[in-house]
Amino acid sequence: MFRIKICGITTVDDALMAAEAGADAIGLNFYARSPRYVAPEVARRIADALAGRVSRVGLFVDPTEEALMAAKVDLDLIQLHGNERVGLVGRLSQAIGIVKAFRIGPEGLRPVLEYLTEMHRYGGVLHAVLFDACQPGRLGGSGKLADWNAIKGYPSEKWHPPFILAGGLTPGNVAAAIQALHPAGVDTASGVEKSPGRKDPLLVERFVREARAGFLAIGRQMS
């Protein structure tokens, strides 16, 4: 499980910078409508440059299995942000680790727990779930905080996958978020950017440093 992920990477230089700063995962966004979209040929160059250094996570929205295969990018994990059915996710989880993203809205964790219960019955295994903010018309990267109070109610039974916290995380609040919620990992995109898809090295370094401090405060060492 990664601890610190810098998402929405669009260049090899930013990817290498994030790795040098101490992030242990980067996200490559394959959703064409996102301002952080990265074409498969660029994603391949980024993924190849980071092979063996950090976890390379590909973000998709309601993909078909054929679309995933067509990307032909060497990924370590797939992160799903759409309305993917349990059957598809279960089949994919047999071949690669799956992170399923959920936007925590007015219903709180109820849709998450229902989905996980169905996945458990199906026999699929998720690498992790990711909790993001709910904002109409946005699938992530909005800069809005997720509902921390709702997330505090996430259960800890062994069959529930660990959770990654996203949604409005910045160098200024990530340590507090970790100490409040004890996530397995944290994920940021807009919180360390100078423009959509382009990362600010100083913000990335600060985010990693503050996240490390937050994990240390709850007794979790970075590997």
Polymer length in residues for the chain: 223
In the chain, where the domains are located: 4-217
Mean pLDDT in residue range 201-218: 98
State the first-to-last Cα distance of the chain, in angstroms, to the nearest integer. Answer: 10
Q: Are strands 198-199 and 193-195 parallel, antiparallel or unpaired?
A: antiparallel
pLDDT tens-place string over residues 98-149: 999 999 999 999 999 999 999 999 888 999 999 999 765 555 555 689 999 9
Return the pLDDT at 170. 98
The answer, yes or no, to whether residue 71 has pLDDT greater than 60, is yes
How many angstroms separate the CA atoms of 82 and 70, rounded? 19
From 13, 24, 74, 132, active-site residue: 132
**In the numeric block, which tokens belong to residue 89?**
């996710």
Position 141 scores a pLDDT of 54
Catalytic, 132? Answer yes
- Condensed to tens digits (0 to 9), the pLDDT of residues 15-52 reads 999 999 999 999 999 999 999 999 999 999 999 999 99
**Whether residue 7 lies in the annotated active site:** yes
Mean pLDDT, the chain, rounded, equals 93
Look at the domain 4-217 and name its fold: TIM Barrel (3.20.20)
Give the percent of the chain with pLDDT over 90.
Answer: 84
Q: List the catalytic residue out of 7, 14, 24, 134.
A: 7
Per-residue pLDDT reduced to its tens digit, 137-180: 555 555 689 999 999 999 988 889 999 999 999 999 999 999 99
Q: Minimal CA–CA distance to 58: which of 101, 26, 34, 85?
A: 26
